[in-house]
Amino acid sequence: MRMPLRDRIALAVALPAPLVVALALVPFRTHMTSANLALILVVIIVAVAALGSRTAGVLAALSAAAWFDFFLTRPYQRFTISQGDDITTTLLLLAVGVAVSQLAAHARTLKLVTVTDAAHLARIHETASMVQGGASPYAVVDQVRQQLVEILGLRGCRFEHGTLLGRHPRLEQDGMLTVARAHWDLDKDGWPGEEIELRASVGGRYLGRFMMRPEPGTLPPPLQARLVAVSLADHVGAALDTAGPVLDR
């Protein structure tokens, strides 16, 4: 699955951003305490982690610790530290940076998966109960297909089992849409004028996909509705995985 644009940006700036900030702090290193200099770098780590992923935050933390050592502790411009307090500050900078990266990534995940609409919750619960109760995968697929039409305001939807040919626009796990492997701004450009793929997977294995036909001229549903659609497709993946091969109808 292609990495979202914001994650790619965060990874791209994770290493150089602390370097740039550390260089900007060089004129002030004799006038500020090491703790205050480190706190400024922590702000950069938090910003990177909040923008992107846990990995980007950890990379930013490692970069910040390294450049804090190199530029802001004595002896300057050497990867050595002569004072015990600076060693402690560097280690704390790294530890705090990694910790806030974990928290920022967790907060972002919670924001993506939070569902407050009672109707959406009912759909997810009903489908999950069918899967856990051993319902026929045909029944689960049919139900989710109807739910997708309602949730996303589609004019049609079909399911292809195990067929992943072609490069169709794809509704991703984070509720965003990609077209030709590039991010598509749904709020600005609306639905693309072709079928949209929503994959049913489990454990990273694709077992089929819903091919969705949006209603021309309609506004795309909000992110929450798209995330519910993704969750329903994942339940279909679980049903197919449990039941084994299922033929298209």
For range 20-27, the mean pLDDT: 95
Query: Amino acid identity of 202?
Result: V
- Predicted pLDDT at 248: 41
- Predicted pLDDT at 132: 80
Grade residue 93 by pLDDT with cuts at 50, 70 and 90: confident
SS3 142: helix
- Predicted pLDDT at 51: 80
Distance (Å, rounded) from C-alpha 174 to C-alpha 130?
24
Q: What residue has token string 């929503």?
A: 198
Question: Other C-beta atoms within 10 Å of 6: how many?
Answer: 17
Query: Amino acid identity of 187?
Result: D
Q: What is the pLDDT of residues 184-234, one digit of tens each?
A: 988 888 888 889 999 998 877 888 999 999 987 778 888 888 988 998 999
Contact partners, residue 32, CB within 8 Å, separation at least 6? 25
Q: What residue has token string 């530029």?
A: 71
Q: What is the pLDDT of residues 101-113, one digit of tens each?
A: 766 665 665 554 4
- Predicted pLDDT at 140: 94
Tokens of 29: 């290193």
Residue 46 has pLDDT above 50, yes or no: yes
Q: What residue has token string 């089992």?
A: 161
b/e code 154-176 from CB counts within 10 Å (16+ = b) = beebebebeeeeeebbbbbbbbb
C-beta of residue 71 within 8 angstroms of C-beta of residue 22: yes
Distance (Å, rounded) from C-alpha 205 to C-alpha 227?
19
- Predicted pLDDT at 116: 47
For 206, phi then psi, to 5°, come to -85, 125
CA separation, residue 6 to residues 11, 14, 59, 67, 130 (Å): 9, 12, 15, 24, 36
